[in-house]
Chains A and B, each alone.
Chain A
Amino acid sequence: MSEASTNNPAHAPKTSLLASDARTKRRETAEKRFRMYGIAAIAVGLFFLIVLAVTIVRSGLPAFTSAVVDIEFTLTEVQFDEAEGTVFKTKAYQGFFNAALAERLQAADFDVAFDEKAIERLLGKTGGTIREFFRANPDKLGEPVSFELPASSRVDGYFKGRVTRDTLVDSRFLQVSDLDIVDAMVDAGVIKTVFNWNFVTGADTGVDNPGGAGIGASVIGSFFMMLVVLVLSLPIGVAASIYLEEFAPQNRFTDLIEVNISNLAAVPSIVFGILGLAVFIQFMHLPQSAPLVGGLVLTLMTLPTIIISTRASLKAVPPSIREAALGVGASKMQTVFHHVLPLAMPGILTGTIIGLAQALGETAPLLLIGMVGFVARGYPDGVVSGFLDPNSAMPAQIYTWAARADAGFYEKAWGGIIILLLFLLAMNILAIILRRRFERRW
């Protein structure tokens, strides 16, 4: 009786709700500590994210601008005929241009020795561009025409701080004295920095011309490649998942398939690359470096991701919905296609887009099948050539640039990263929008 009474709340010592006891205090400290850990982890994550973003933007932005010499230049018809009459035609045009440039600089109190060789180092051979323009537009002869001629990559680097007077060693590419001319051109307002459209739309260049390199061609390569991946992996992946999840009998064999699919998702991408090289190129003799082959390889890589996420979303559809459909006399097939699949759609799409985004950023397998950066030398002529002609893809192009010696390419690699990230961002936003759209929370 006396023992029972200790359990009786009426006899327990009175505790106030306002004063917390030792147990409560311990629990509260533990909970607070846990919250602090969480906040600290997120803060560290955010810090690195910001560092990453700032680094990428700071290193990559210069790739989007380039120094150009902007000069208004009049070529008379007499000069045109004279130039066309000479043996070294472009040389003649270059002469006219240099004269115009010298005149322009003198008008701005230019007092540095003007040297035609130096101009060639700063601007490259300008005659060709000018001749092409006037041959194409003879009606512009005799009127002032504004030319924007890209400065050489080292001059560009001088503007971006990559090349300084202290670090510059005289070479056939650029000499310290040339920088005086550059400074004078800046004072005269002849040289300026503009948005580098060529970087966005252009193709890769040789190793000695980082200024002209653009990522456009490999964006197209990536596009055709992803088209192959989407067209193959979405239907195959979704069909395989539906079959495995809804129709296949549960037995050893399907268990084995299941385990293998999960394992495939963890296979390093370079293994898929060498498999693609062996099967698609060496055995099936598909063209090397072709986006088609790249797409096939990436399809192999993407399929497990899509299958796993699709199966997960099919599994997540409540069984009560299937029962409801079967209960009113829908067949298994009708149940899946009328009810289960629509409900699983947001998950399937998200998984697919994540799979595609992974494929878009994949480099290693592409290098193995020859989609290296330097093959992206121009735009394909059409759709077929888009699939079959040698091309690169964005990440492989970036890798190629980063591996090149010239510091100008380093900047291009960062710029390429920005473009790649923009595409990935766009895909993720698309995934979110599709998810919202298909997700009907009723």
Chain B
Amino acid sequence: MNDMRLLQRTQGMNDIKIQANGVDVFYADNHAIKDVSVEIEDKTVTAFIGPSGCGKSTFLRCLNRMNDTIDICKVTGDILLDGEDIYDPKVDPVQLRAKVGMVFQKPNPFPKSIYDNVAYGPRIHGLAKNKAELDEIIEKSLRRGAIWDEVKDRLKQPGTGLSGGQQQRLCIARAIATEPEVLLMDEPCSALDPIATAQVEELIDELKQNYSVVIVTHSMQQAARVSQKTAFFHLGSLVEYGETGKIFTNPEDSRTESYITGRIG
């Protein structure tokens, strides 16, 4: 890790995209997230790090209400997207998820063609008026997903026939296609080899120009490489949150330091 470079990575303050205030999450009796408050900036990559089972995924899934699909999961506290409470009863989680896209740990393309994979979101949200527009969205999304050149000649072939890294980039392109404002990624590289990981990381770096990206990772190197902000979770609590450079070089909390230096994890 190049400490000097990390320190130089200064941030112009961006707008707050997501604001979480006193969020608690329970899986039945299991108190998985304890009073977490965090401000996630627009056009920034925010990394969630922490030991396995500390609640990174759980918190991430609160941000697009994916936890709603788990019956036993209860979320309390406020989460505001552009100042609007996403847990307000008037909010349709489906609409929310179109705005807050998600990429999962294991690449999960639909068992359909590459084209249909990307086209699915725009189709159900009515983003394209005709075939030409849809084609355009698909090309744009695949380009942004940094996979266009590899698949442009085989759009009609199944998405599941791609390699793991390609599949994950296809999933990112699929998430981008619905024009989200926030992109949530839950360990997007953990099933990928180093080369594919490098490609996806490069992609994430580009995505931050347009989106607010939140990435969960268990690799501290990855957090250091791609993120501007880092949040360290431990046993369901947010221990420390700040500039990535600062967290990795000069953490305030001793638990953060222990984790970074490999003593807990």
Q: Interface of A with B (CB < 8 Å)? A: 249-250, 318, 320-332, 334, 338-339, 343, 440, 442
Contacts and interface: CB of A to CB of B under 8 A. Distances in A.
Interface residues of B, number: 33
Given A328-B174, A328-B175, A339 B110 contact: yes
A442 B178 contact: no
Contacts of B102: 323, 327
* The 7 A-B residue pairs with the shortest CB-CB distance in the complex, in nearest-first order: A329-B98, A442-B158, A320-B108, A327-B102, A328-B121, A329-B97, A442-B160
Given A325-B110, A328-B121, 16 more contacts: A249-B71, A320-B104, A320-B108, A323-B66, A323-B102, A323-B104, A324-B108, A326-B97, A327-B64, A327-B66, A328-B124, A328-B174, A329-B101, A329-B125, A330-B120, A442-B112
B110 to A, nearest CB: 6
A121 to B, nearest CB: 70
A442 B71 contact: no
A328 B98 contact: yes
A318 B69 CA distance: 15
7 contacts: A250-B71, A321-B108, A321-B111, A324-B104, A329-B97, A330-B121, A334-B124
Contacts of A327: 64, 66, 97, 101-104, 175
A348 to B, nearest CB: 16
Contacts of B104: 320, 323-324, 327
Contacts, number: 73
Contacts of A442: 111-112, 158-161
A323 B97 contact: no
A153 to B, nearest CB: 59
Contact of A323 (B108, B109, B158, B177): B108
B109 A330 contact: no
A338 B120 contact: yes
B211 to A, nearest CB: 15
Contacts of A334: 124
B94 interface: yes
Identify whether the interface residues of B are mostly helix, strand, loop, or mixed.
helix
Contacts of B120: 325, 328, 330, 338
Identify whether the interface residues of A are mostly helix, strand, loop, or mixed.
helix
B95 interface: yes
B110 A324 contact: yes
B114 to A, nearest CB: 11
B124 A326 contact: no
Interface in B109-135: 109-112, 120-121, 124-125
B223 interface: no
B74 interface: no
B187 to A, nearest CB: 13
Given A328-B98, A328-B174, A329-B94, A343 B111 contact: yes
Contacts of A330: 94, 120-121, 124
A326 B67 CA distance: 11
Nearest to B159: A442
A442 B113 CA distance: 9
A249 B177 CA distance: 32
B161 A326 contact: no
Contacts of A331: 94
Given A328-B101, A329-B121, A321 B110 contact: yes
Contacts of B124: 328-330, 334, 338
A329 B95 contact: yes
Contacts of B175: 327-328
A332 B97 CA distance: 12
A327 B158 CA distance: 20
